[in-house]
Amino acid sequence: MVDLHSHTGASDGSDAPFTLVDNALSAGVTALSITDHDTFAGYYAAKPYALSKGLDLLCGIELSTKYLGQTIHLLGYFPRAEPAAAFGEWLLILQTKRRDRNQRLVENLQKLGVKITLAEVEALGKTMAGRPHFAMILLQKRYVKTMQEAFDKYLAENGRAFTEREEVPLEEGIQRVREAGGIPAIAHPARLGRRTAAEEAEWIEAAVEMGMLGLEVRHSDHDATAVKRYTALAARFGLLTTGGSDYHGTYKPDIKLGTGKFGNVSVPTEWLERLRANVS
């Protein structure tokens, strides 16, 4: 079984990198890509262990980018060689911007009377600490009753403590991945929220013009109709097809490694082979 989309505790998953490798193997996954948000730390931590256990581990990442005012998740796969050092340095700059935003978010929350510190947030989220970690702390300290309430009240774009994080333009993300020898792919296109099939196709065409090379056709959020539509769109624009569960461990308990939500994900081995050969 192949799964090309998963998260470790280096970003917002619950599994430590080793645990993810063990869980993938127990689930029957033979080839896995770790695609943490904006970091390779989980991938590099898991790599020697995966090798010793015979799990085929593919280097990947999921970048948060911005296009037309919307946050777009961009997958990057490095099937032949790990990305050049310059790409890692660029990620460090992104992490600094994230940390600055987190500092401002802490200050805004403190002004609203919430007792929270950056150290607490970073103890949970490490270098990839983000709003979900803020939400967990707000929940633990009983400022809210659910994670969603933490977003609605404080952390979402219209929340009381919200502050913008400078995000990379989608086009720059695509170019950086390609320059580093990787394959950029649109993550979970169903979440783009395009209302009509025509609007969706137009959006994907724009991404192709920016240098996009792949489309995540299979994903836990995609039902059979969506999979059919994205298969056709990938063929129409000559995009490589990718797929994965988007596993986040116990944080998203419905999503299983390799098979997604109630078995709605299955990724053909040929898709991984084509990614490695880089032919659509």
**Can you read off the two tokens belonging to residue 146?**
């659910």
Question: What character string, x for contact with ligand AMP (CB under 6 A) and - otherwise, covers 126-165?
Answer: ----xxx---------------x--x----x--------x
Q: What are phi and psi of 69, to 5 degrees?
A: 75, 5
Q: Which does 131 bind (CB under 5 to 8 A by kind): ligand AMP, Zn ion, Fe ion, none?
A: ligand AMP
Cβ–Cβ under 8 Å, residues 94 and 38:
yes
How far is it, in rounded angstroms, from Cα 217 to Cα 233? Answer: 9
Residue bearing tokens 């939500």:
261
How far is it, in rounded angstroms, from Cα 111 to Cα 185? Answer: 40
Strands 183-186 and 214-219: parallel
How far is it, in rounded angstroms, from Cα 239 to Cα 213? Answer: 5
Which of the residues 93 through 132 are near Zn ion (CB under 5 A)?
Answer: none
Q: How far is the CB of 131 from ligand AMP (least distance, A)?
A: 4
Residues in binding contact with ligand AMP, number by CB under 6 A = 8
246, 247, 257, 275: residue in contact with Zn ion (rule CB under 5 A): 246
Q: Is 36 among the residues that bind Zn ion (CB under 5 A)?
A: no
Which of the residues 37 through 96 are near ligand AMP (CB under 6 A)?
Answer: 64
Which of the residues 177 through 206 are near Zn ion (CB under 5 A)?
Answer: none
108-138 exposure pattern, b = at least 16 Cβ within 10 A, e = fewer: bbeeeebebeeebbeeebebbbbbbbbbbbb
- Closest residue to bound Fe ion by CB: 73
**Can you read off the two tokens belonging to residue 111?**
């002004």
- Closest residue to bound ligand AMP by CB: 130
Q: How far is the CB of 197 from Fe ion (least distance, A)?
A: 22
Mind spelling out the 3-state secondary structure of 97-153?
HHHHHHHHHHHHHHHCCCCCCHHHHHHHHHHHCCHHHHHHHHHHCCCCCCHHHHHHH
Q: Which does 130 bind (CB under 5 to 8 A by kind): Zn ion, ligand AMP, Fe ion, none?
A: ligand AMP
Residues in binding contact with Zn ion, number by CB under 5 A = 2
Which of the residues 56 through 75 are near Zn ion (CB under 5 A)?
Answer: 62
Q: How far is the CB of 278 from Fe ion (least distance, A)?
A: 23
Q: How far is the CB of 251 from Fe ion (least distance, A)?
A: 8
Nearer to Zn ion, 114 or 207 (CB): 207
Q: What are phi and psi of 243, to 5 degrees?
A: -170, 155
Binding site for Zn ion (CB under 5 A): 62, 246
Binding site for ligand AMP (CB under 6 A): 64, 130-132, 148, 151, 156, 165
